[in-house]
Structure 1
Amino acid sequence: MTDKLTRIHVAFPPSCEDMVTMVLALHASWGWEDEGMRDGVRHLVVHSTLPEHAAHLHAALCEVCPAVEVSTTSVDNADWNAAWRQFFSPLSIGRFTVVPSWLAAEHAGPWTLVIEPKMAFGTGHHATTALCLEALDALAQEGAIAPGQRFLDLGTGSGILALAASRLGLTGLALDIDSVAVDNAAENLAVNKAQGVEVRTGTITDAPAAHFHLVLANILAAPLIDMARDITARLLPGGILILSGILAGEQALAVETAYTDLGLPSPQRHTQGEWASLVFRTA
């Protein structure tokens, strides 16, 4: 592992936020830090182990928002790890307890999910991840999902949702378009000794159709809408679809409409703060 990280600072007008977020989701899927608004300008920070990533990200951002400003600095990897240790505390969501690797021994148990944060998105602290974990636990407790069934985790990030599904006795496939996230997910699944989960680089078209009892996709509204037909086609009859990464309100309605227009029944909608999850139960 490199001793240095590249800190990429991104500043842009609020009118570009949707497009900038979309580019970051594609090119920095392990996540970014929101530093809020200052003087009418939005400020975000991305950390990367690859110095050349800044130029690549800058070019992609300028395509969608010419007004974007990107600057870089170098920080110690040790500083990043220390910051995570200060921030990442144990978290209870339903029956699950999400803990960092350095506290795993203190919280061992059948519902413990051990996560090595590094730079992959998905520690459970973000509302969208928590909403998906809550939905998984509730569905399992009511018997809507059961051991032995197959799942697909699209945009797996840290692998936390795949790990939770594995804890519930399901087996399946975890996909992400970013190799950094895939490596982190594989490590987390290994640390937890998760069985029956394949994790690899890929997107929805790399998953077999009509193959999964459960599909999880915690991504963003626009790609969820764009991939609605492909995602729906991966479900077995009677399957369940959990979508998140969606802002409550107009975004949630737009995503819901994209899937109900394909014949899915109206979903259960759950919210936490400004974020929403949609749970579809197919016939």
Structure 2
Amino acid sequence: MSGVYLSLNQGWTYYKEKHPRKIHNARNEIRSVALAWREVLTSNLNDFDTTEIDLHHKGSLAEGYELGHICGKFYDALQIPDDTVLVADLTAMIGVYRELKGRMEDVQDLSVTNEDILVSKAVSEDVDDTKFQQRVSAAQPKYTASPQPKKEPRVSRGRKSWQRDIGIARGALENANFLCEFDPTHVSYTSKRTGRNYVEAHHLVPLNLQDQFEYSLDVTANVVALCRNCHGRIHYAVASEKEEVLEKLYELRRERLLGHGIDIGLEDLKRAYD
């Protein structure tokens, strides 16, 4: 009871009931939607904080509201402003809410908008990865043989992201002799940029886990070469087919990952892909 939040937030129950047996999926989705709204809202948010809130409670409901927070303001219990400020803040928040509602156009069901956001986010990530793979094809290879310091993340509206070094990715493809590391018999086509079998670079331990590790995840040991089909499989396949790829790649790379200061169990790795 140290203070109170004014928060433009989301209903956690919707996500929890959508994924009753995979609560981590619910957490990922509600946070993704919150981040998406932060990126598109153009209302004046100068007086509102877009970083995640802390409700000082470990329960599922509190955690859901922490992740569902889009923007808001904290009032210290010992320094509650006068009514003029409170009314002005609430009026400003209503303006942000109206913009959000207006961006839903004629859709009356917020869940439809949520699903559109999640699909668009996946499509956007696919486009970004395609551009990355194209740049890798033209890069000079780099290699790492020991633990590397973590890079500074980029922060945009409260969202962290870690950049991928195209040289390290190219070096990993060279190490794999441009063959799919899940199944070297998988041949796609000859790339006009490399003159070799086309494969794509993939970070086995996802970069969005970087905060959990002391050393950089953007290292040669953590980048695997995959044919386009296996690369899609590791992201989008049903759990059993996805896990088959993860299990093999994990066994291939476990010792090398440890040599780079990256210690992760197979089950934790599988959960990261959920």
Whether the TM-score (by the shorter chain) exceeds 0.5 is: no
- The normalised TM-score by structure 1 is 0.29
- The normalised TM-score by structure 2 is 0.29
**Between structures 1 and 2, the one with greater strand share:** 1
**Between structures 1 and 2, the one with greater helix share:** 2
